[in-house]
Chains A and B, each alone.
Chain A
């Protein structure tokens, strides 16, 4: 005699994902209310790596704050250098020499590729594929070696200065970049064959983790998350800064809104960044890399300004309020991961737990960037 199996319905339980969990890529905790394997409610709990960067800005001079800016999104720190330097330059009215602008763009785009590689490897690990990480780190190592040779750091860069950059690039760096570009293009083809076309991978990401464009808008999502929902918005094109208007590159966008679309945006972006680096190297003008007459003690005039750059994870905005002294009166960091994570609760409702981890991975979170 056997008993009829009955399923219990309507009973939910709470599971903590994190704060120490390999799939959160940092100290993020998500409080999940589950009904079986399905998510009824997901509440991200953040702040575990909160360091109060905004208050620190009010306690140090403008140049001193460079040390902080490289530690917010430490995976794409060069681009955050770009944002901060440009914001202060806008406020103080400092002109940057042309060669410095080119060097800024070259190093930032290399950093963007390194950042996407650091997302790519662990993202595939989240889905159960261990090998691609080893390839990705090999490529990333080549970029970090290049950046280290000019910036002195491998991760937490403080390479920019108000009015330029602190070191000029040399022949070795340029030769290294030129050697890296064809190598990386080959590797992108390899990744396509190894991962993108892999049927197991595709079954985990295609049609899953849908983020409608309307959700992106109301939550202020930017970067690959927004472009993976079909909205072709990139600060480099829509609100051009530096020498980006002079360069020829495309903004990839895919309208499927699923985890695969966000994956494809980033893979294509690496290719576009290579194009940018190639063009910038070809056109690199000679000249100084620092503006003349940037005062040692910088006191921007009273007022406020906003500056946006396209970080590896989306639009990084910085608002500086100056009271005419040598320290910012108030400095607001608008970080892309903060907005991109805030939509997770709404989007993951009703999803399978395993699929939501693919969604979380496809957001490309950098937790120190969320917490600041």
Chain B
């Protein structure tokens, strides 16, 4: 398990250099092996690399940080054949949250991005069908934002 994590660490570092901040974390304490901070512009490239190495996309979670005027997206990757869990974090500005869509690389990202769009108002550029998923089709509010008031 640990060898493949180091392998991936080296591959990511080799490909992206200083553009990624990679930290090896203790799985027993955090639930994943690599904690990676990336820039929004790099997410497609990072997702392609993970795809090429046989990783699956497990979830995309968004977190609202109004005090820091940012929205955070956490992409959780896992490799079924062994290789550890990887969380890639991206921060986007809160007033105009926008990030490239990875739904062309991972089919599963389609729904997760639609969900993050309706709940947080994050725009995924290049997404083929960014309409609400679980909210009504005419919903124009973003209920998981911290400043949302019904």
Report how many residues on chain B are interfacial, defined by Cβ distance under 8 Å. 36
What are the 5 tightest A-B residue pairs by CB atom distance, in nearest-first order? A306-B31, A47-B134, A332-B61, A334-B59, A219-B108
- Give Cα distance in the complex from A220 to B51, angstroms: 12
The answer to whether the Cβ of B70 comes within 8 Å of any Cβ in the partner chain is no
Please, how many angstroms separate the alpha-carbon atoms of A102 and B30 in the complex? 23
B56 touches A319 (CB 8 A): no
User: Is A9 interfacial (CB-CB < 8 Å)?
Assistant: no
CA distance A218 to B57 in the complex (A): 7
Q: Are B108 and A342 in contact (CB under 8 A)?
A: yes
Decide yes or no whether B2 CB sits under 8 A from chain A.
no
Take A90-B31, A238-B82 as given contacts and tell me if A306 and B108 are in contact as well, using a CB distance cutoff of 8 Å: no
What 1/0 flags go to A213-236 for Cβ under 8 Å of B? 001111110000010000101000
**Shortest CB–CB separation between residue A238 and chain B, in angstroms?**
7
Q: Choose among A306, A339, A372 the residue that contacts B32 (Cβ–Cβ < 8 A).
A: A306
Pair A319/B29 contact, Cβ less than 8 Å: no
Interface residues of B (CB under 8 A from A): 27-32, 51, 54, 56-59, 61, 63-64, 74, 76, 80-82, 85, 87, 105-108, 110-111, 119, 132-136, 143-144
Q: How far apart are the CA atoms of A46 and B110 in the complex, in Å?
A: 14
Would you call B63 and A371 a contact (CB within 8 A)? Answer: no
Contact sample, A vs B, 23 pairs, CB 8 Å cutoff:
A46-B134, A47-B133, A52-B143, A87-B31, A215-B107, A216-B56, A218-B105, A218-B107, A218-B108, A220-B56, A220-B57, A231-B80, A233-B81, A239-B85, A306-B32, A315-B58, A319-B61, A319-B76, A329-B63, A330-B61, A332-B59, A334-B58, A342-B107
Nearest CB in chain B to that of A338: its residue: B111
Near B by CB (< 8 A), chain A positions 35-79 give 46-47, 50, 52, 54-55
CA distance in complex: A231, B56 (Å): 12
- Chain B residues whose C-beta falls within 8 Å of the C-beta of A226 in the assembled complex: 80
- Counting contact residues on chain A (CB < 8 A from B), the size range is 35 or more
B31:A54 contact, CB within 8 angstroms: no
With A47-B134, A220-B57, A342-B110 already in contact, the answer to whether A305 and B76 are too (CB < 8 A) is no
B76 touching A47, Cβ below 8 Å: no
In-complex Cβ contact of B31 among A55, A307, A342 (8 A): A307
Determine if A50 and B134 form an interchain contact, defined as CB atoms under 8 angstroms apart.
Answer: yes
Complex contact A220–B59 (CB within 8 A): yes
Which residues of A331-372 are within 8 A (CB) of B? 332, 334, 338-339, 342-343, 346, 371-372
Known: A218-B57, A220-B58, A220-B59. A339 touches B76 (CB 8 A): no
Which residues of chain A are near B136, meaning CB under 8 Å? Answer: 47
